[in-house]
Amino acid sequence: MGKLNTDMNLADGDATYAALVKMTEGMDDTAAMKAMAKLVLLLANHIGDDAVLNEAMAIARGKA
């Protein structure tokens, strides 16, 4: 299907980062990791394109 878009695509990247930080406020490390993992899975499901997800995983691992 599509190619991973790595260009800035957020209206306000700083606000998005702040929201991600706020999402885990007050959580211990385990709960924060679970919340982030759940977010990743929700977004992966939304994307729904294995090629795009594999490309993103490779970049995240530093292998692209």
Measure the CA–CA gap between 26 and 29, rounded to whole angstroms.
10
3-state secondary structure labels for all residues of 6-62:
CCCCCCCHHHHHHHHHHHCCCCCHHHHHHHHHHHHHHHHHHHCCHHHHHHHHHHHCC
Over residues 22-48, the pLDDT tens digits come to 999 999 999 999 999 999 999 999 999
Q: How confident is the model at residue 1 (pLDDT cuts 50, 70, 90)?
A: low
pLDDT value for 63 = 85
64 Cβ contact list (under 8 Å, min separation 6): 55, 58
> What are the residue boundaries of the structural domains of the chain, listed by start?
26-64
